[in-house]
Structure 1
Amino acid sequence: MNSIFIALNLLKRMVGGKRALLIHIVLPVAAISLLIGIVGGSDKDDYSVAYVNADQGIMGAYFVRELQEAHAYRLTGMNTVEEVKKSVTDRKAAAAIAIPPDFTERLLKGETPEVSLFQLNVSEASATLRLHAESAVGRFADIVRLIAATGASGDEMIAKLDEALRRAQNKMITSSVTDLGLVPRDGVRFATGFMLMFLMINISSTVNLMIEDRRIKTMSRVYTAPVRSLEIAAGNFLGSFLAGSVQLVLILLFTRYVLRFDYGLPFFSQLLILELFLIACVGLATAVAGVIRNSQSAGLLNTMLVTPSCMIGGCFWPVTLMPDWMQKLSYFVPQRWAIDAIQNVSAGYEVASVGLHIAVLVVFAVVLLGFGSVTLQPHKTEFDR
């Protein structure tokens, strides 16, 4: 019961007055909804692909011609791998392909070389492009092996290979890219990432309230009553969770039914995953409030914790673009698990299939809340050690 009173008091301080309601609810919800509407709604029907052909033989040219004949992509040739990568990061191209210098040489040796595919988002078109590229390379390798079995080599083999590829491409059936809803839309990950960052930033405001309570000795006065440290921590936890839930529900309702943004998954499935992430965030805020003693250090929370964890967790860019050691590190932040869960459900999986993600988010919340209840020490003031 004591925790409920503390929670209601914290909620009243955050959204009770007109000014608090405007600062903590109206403006943040409007800003993040507008950002999701702009960024998430920027998907295009055409699929532009930048490519660089570093191959000196005939196979690289046939690979590019195969993509051109498919009529499914808008190709743009470039000179270096750095240029095609930059075109993707600058969003001038949806994806990029780099054909290695030894592409023809390795095929003639009987190997199956790989072409490099660069992309920021996973979509139906990008999956089709990857399958198309792998299919073309595999077919080229099969043709080379068949010609080699006839005993041809050197210039004779290249001539027969050229003739066989010409006949094959003249008979090639063109294809088109169709969105079947089998993978998440490009904007879903960005919209989810921005939403998670917004939730963490707003939950961090509760840390400031806890530190303020410690500074003016409100927390220590509550502790002198028959209220345990765990109850105080649980009350702040519950109040932060209620305030965050109000913000979260308003964002989902506004973006879904006013801006008409399609997340690709049911409302309640998305709300469940985001609420679990919110619980983990509140647990983190409680733990940080227990560690930070100086109110002047509270401003470092976003710089030292929120922004880096969002970067590592995939809120700003796909985790797959990061080095391997950073990808492994991302499993230690809740953003990675929440984004992966939403993308999996958006791709057509059931909520039960992301049970591991849900369990990890719950573990984050339990561990952090337990740590926060121990380190909060409400009987101490700002300057006590």
Structure 2
Amino acid sequence: MKDVIWLIKNLFKVTFKDKKKLFFTVGLPIIGILVSILIYGGSNTSTLHVGIVNHDHSMISSNTVKFIKGLDHVQVKEIKAADVEDKVSSGQLDCVVTFDKGYTQSIQNGHPDHVNIVSIKGATVTGFVKSYLNQYIDNINDLSLAGKGDQETFHRLYTDYQQAPFKMTTGTLNDTSKNNDMTYQAIGFLLMFMLIAAGNLSSMITQEKEGRTYFRLLSTPIDSKKYVLSNIITNLLIMIGQIIVTLIFMTKVFHIQLSMPVWEMFVTLILFALVAVGLSLAVIAFATSSAAGNAMLNLIVTPSCLLSGCFFPSGIMPETVQKIAHFLPQTWLLDTIDKLQQGQHFSQVYLNIFILLAFACAFFLIAVYKFGRNNNVNNFI
């Protein structure tokens, strides 16, 4: 055990002797969080500037204007008809709603009309205003139909409608989708950085073979099993450090709500750390040189992260690509986090956990088999 501890200390010294490696190991996950905040951290709520031109000058049109003014995130300004084109084209107003003379009469007749909406920003603006305005006008029109053309009955129903004794209260629910999106994106970047870190440390095995350091170590009481075990433990410790730093910055520094217990996120990422170490060892086992090993890792890490949805949600990709992504461990890790954020208990995602463990075991078994049959490393394991 002393030999393994000595090797672990030595690997840490070699790994972090270069300050750049320390920055890339610790700093890149933080940069990934910042990128996810820039992508999803902006506010999706904006104020819609609406102009009103009221030619009808009736109680119903005035109440309709009051209704529009009462909408959330809508700023209303009454303007003159001559200013409509200038205000809209200059961008001072997103749209202008015009109530022509005869608006009230058309409602009383049961055929709402004489309302126009002008905008150069398209249906994204007009659709929002129309959806609320149509609902309000339809309610008034129903009163007219209920009055069956009798003006006195209509005015009585309309007055009762405006002075309804019941009240409606509203509450605000926290929108967790933005935090979930930021968490998903930040973890996606972290998975890529974990794979890169695992690959870099595992490639030291090949580098030390090329430098003959490995064979000099085997001339001591240290054997190949202790050497590989120390590499695995060091790899896991470094990735655990990455995970802890990422979770601390996400929750304590940037105050991103994970929508799940921190310990569940930590345990899930530890499982992926095992997968990352197993994958890196399996790749290095097939590499004939350190350059070949790094090239193989690059060819595997970036495309697999892309297909599995580490950079953007996999749901926007074609169905065929999504099916291919099911053969990648990153997909199952991200799917696990998504399910936990939706409120599922940790015990309910047991299938995902078993699949991640299966990936890890498969990669380790491949590495053991290949190292054991590699004559060039004198029975590495």
- Normalising by the residue count of structure 2, what TM-score does the alignment of the two structures yield? 0.61
**Shift in CA distance, 290/164, structure 1 to aligned 2, threshold 3 Å:** closer
Where do 1:1-385 residues align within 5 Å? Answer: 1=1, 5-6=3-4, 9=7, 11-16=8-13, 19-20=16-17, 22-40=19-37, 42-46=40-44, 167=138, 178-179=173-174, 181=176, 185-220=180-215, 232-377=227-372, 380-381=375-376
Matched-pair contact (CA < 8 Å) for 1:207–1:288: no
Matched-pair contact (CA < 8 Å) for 2:29–2:242: no
* Amino acid across the alignment from 2:305: C
Matched-pair contact (CA < 8 Å) for 1:46–1:73: no
* Amino acid across the alignment from 2:192: M
**How far 1:195 moved relative to its partner?**
0.8
**Shift in CA distance, 212/32, structure 1 to aligned 2, threshold 3 Å:** same
Matched-pair contact (CA < 8 Å) for 1:255–1:261: yes
Matched-pair contact (CA < 8 Å) for 1:7–1:238: no
**How far 1:370 moved relative to its partner?**
1.1
Deviations 1:143-180 (A, max 9, x none): xxxxxxxxxxxxxxxxxxxx999736978x9x998435
Q: Which runs of 5+ in 2 are unaligned?
A: 47-67, 75-130, 143-167
* Amino acid across the alignment from 1:295: S
Partners of 1:170 and 1:378 lie apart in 2 by 84
**How far 1:6 moved relative to its partner?**
4.2
Matched-pair contact (CA < 8 Å) for 1:15–1:24: no
**How far 1:245 moved relative to its partner?**
1.3
Partners of 1:186 and 1:70 lie apart in 2 by 31
Deviations 1:23-71 (A, max 9, x none): 34344322321330342364344358xxxxxxxxxxxxxxxxxxx9996
- Partner SS state of residue 185, structure 1: helix
**More divergent stretch after superposition (213-222 vs 227-236):** 227-236
- Partner SS state of residue 317, structure 1: coil
Partners of 1:246 and 1:164 lie apart in 2 by 55
Looking at both structures, which has the greater relative contact order when contacts are Cα pairs under 8 Å and sequence separation is at least 6?
Answer: 1
* Amino acid across the alignment from 1:190: Q
Identity, % of aligned positions: 22
**Shift in CA distance, 235/27, structure 1 to aligned 2, threshold 3 Å:** closer
**More divergent stretch after superposition (177-186 vs 348-357):** 177-186
**Shift in CA distance, 340/266, structure 1 to aligned 2, threshold 3 Å:** same
Partners of 1:5 and 1:209 lie apart in 2 by 18
- Partner SS state of residue 282, structure 2: helix
Partners of 1:290 and 1:251 lie apart in 2 by 30
**How far 1:18 moved relative to its partner?**
9.1
Q: CA RMSD in A?
A: 4.0
* Amino acid across the alignment from 2:331: R
Q: 1:132 aligns to what?
A: none
Partners of 2:273 and 2:184 lie apart in 1 by 17
**How far 1:380 moved relative to its partner?**
4.2
Partners of 2:373 and 2:220 lie apart in 1 by 11
**Shift in CA distance, 291/70, structure 1 to aligned 2, threshold 3 Å:** farther
Matched-pair contact (CA < 8 Å) for 2:179–2:257: no
Matched-pair contact (CA < 8 Å) for 1:214–1:378: no
Deviations 1:225-250 (A, max 9, x none): 78776655444322211222122212
Matched-pair contact (CA < 8 Å) for 2:3–2:222: no
**Bigger Rg, which one:** 2
**How far 1:333 moved relative to its partner?**
1.1
Deviations 1:187-208 (A, max 9, x none): 1111110111111111111122
**Shift in CA distance, 292/17, structure 1 to aligned 2, threshold 3 Å:** closer
Partners of 1:187 and 1:377 lie apart in 2 by 43
